[in-house]
Amino acid sequence: MGTEIGTQSVTREDFARFGQRLAAETQYARTAYDHGLFADAQRVAGFELEACLVDRGCLPAARNVSFLARLNSPLVVPELSRFNVEINATPQQLQGSALSRLESELTATWQQCQRVAAEEQGSLIAIGILPTLRDTDLSLANMSPSRRYAMLNDQILRLRGGRPLTLSIEGADRLATTHTDVMLEAATTSFQAHLQTPACDAARTYNASLILAAPLVALSANSPFLFGRALWQETRIPLFEQAVDCCDPGHPEYMRVTFGSGYLGADPTELFAENLSSYAVLLPFEMPGEIASCAHLRLHNGTIWRWNRLLVGFDYNGRPHLRVEQRVMPAGPSIVDMIANAAFYYGAVHSLTRRAVAPERELPFTAARANFYCAARSGLGAELTWLGGRRIMAGELLARELLPLARQGLAELELAVEDRRRYLGVIDGRLRSGRNGAAWQLAHYAKYHDFLRLTADYLAHQSRIVPVHEWPI
């Protein structure tokens, strides 16, 4: 999705040519997997962090064009709205001090971003949904000047027959509204952890990532408010799903933003075949390169936002690889919180993938999916179904079973001892206190009833780079 497109107008012939190339590349991916052409050697970690630009009054600041021009960093790129940007990480082999290297680079990039934002009379904030965001901020006038975003909006509305997008979320409060464009998506910002995995492990890693989605959401929830209403602990989940909804109402498993339709079998490229058969093309633009570049497959895959997404990439030597993009975690609250979330995910998914009995055999997909939405609604207080059909509270599951699994996994991956202690110590502190970002925001609002103060205090605490469970109210 990061690739700019050449024109905004398309024809039926464009769709036909794209479809032919997409089918050829999908078949190539399956054949390449069957013949062992995907990299099968190492694990590599990385991430994408979406963030909001705000002015001195903590309101959205639609200035990413001038901000990015001043910043001039290849690691920071535009997002859907003019008040959003995306920070990328340099991939690190998942061993030794990889986690602290990721934190050091993010800290340096973040500080550089803050210096430039200050020159623009503002700040950058990492938070799942900005509490001061107004419905009027989500207009096409605030869409980033990119042809691919304009085309994406046009095509989604075309598939909806011009019908407006309807948003309905019920939590502590209720929110119901409509939008005539896809800009609701710009209200959501996330921290997306990437894990390149040996091709032989890709299917099991993907399935384990689905199973971990619910505990990860409970652990990291940081989006309790939207338009002045308290909704889900991680309101970003239903918001994003409804913001680009253009599926057949009879097949909710094929929504553009979805938990998915099932676990993977032995061949992970099944997902790309599902993309081809079940999802309409939104950006039908011919891309340069041979079939082996999978350019059309990758572009189409980028318009299907599974909460766990399988990606095709290429190593420095040009060999294709597979990686899982874990998309369930929100942005924030602090840099160390986000790296700790990633550390927990990398360790826990490694341990689950290595179990003698695959966890997907012990937890039906329907239960994993139900867990996900329950965790998004209730956070650490969610009651989940776990392996073997046990019912357990999310906080208890994380503390008693998954945190030890994460420790074991990071040790097996030979991550630095000090990094393991530091980041999993943050997770332990969060679980002992019962305070994730959503809990802190809710407690702050219950005390002061002021979204501007909440956002200003959040921003001040975030600048200290200490974990959220140590933030005062």
pLDDT tens-digit map of 248-267: 666 766 899 999 999 999 99
- Bridging pattern class, strands 76-78 and 165-170: unpaired
Q: What is the pTM of this model?
A: 0.96
Four-CA torsion 402, 405, 409, 412, nearest 10 degrees: 170
Per-position pLDDT tens, the chain of length 473: 445 455 557 899 999 999 999 999 999 999 999 999 999 988 999 999 999 999 999 999 999 999 999 999 999 999 999 999 999 999 999 999 999 999 999 999 999 999 999 999 999 999 999 999 999 999 999 999 999 999 999 999 999 999 999 999 999 999 999 999 999 999 999 999 999 999 999 999 999 999 999 999 999 999 999 999 999 999 999 999 999 988 666 676 689 999 999 999 999 999 999 999 999 999 999 888 899 999 999 999 999 999 999 999 998 888 999 999 999 999 999 999 999 999 999 999 999 999 999 999 999 999 999 999 999 999 999 999 999 999 999 999 999 999 999 999 999 999 999 999 999 999 999 999 999 999 999 999 999 999 999 999 999 999 998 999 999 99
pLDDT at 1 (0 to 100):
44
- Cβ count within 10 A of residue 254: 18
Residue 144 backbone phi and psi in degrees, to 5: -60, 145
Say how far apart CA 9 and CA 188 lie, in whole Å. 28
Residue 198: cis peptide before it, omega within 30 degrees of 0:
no
Q: Which two tokens stand for residue 413?
A: 């991956």
Amino acid at residue number 457: D
Amino acid at residue number 195: L
Say how far apart CA 21 and CA 192 lie, in whole Å. 29
Say how far apart CA 230 and CA 278 lie, in whole Å. 35
Say how far apart CA 236 and CA 185 lie, in whole Å. 9
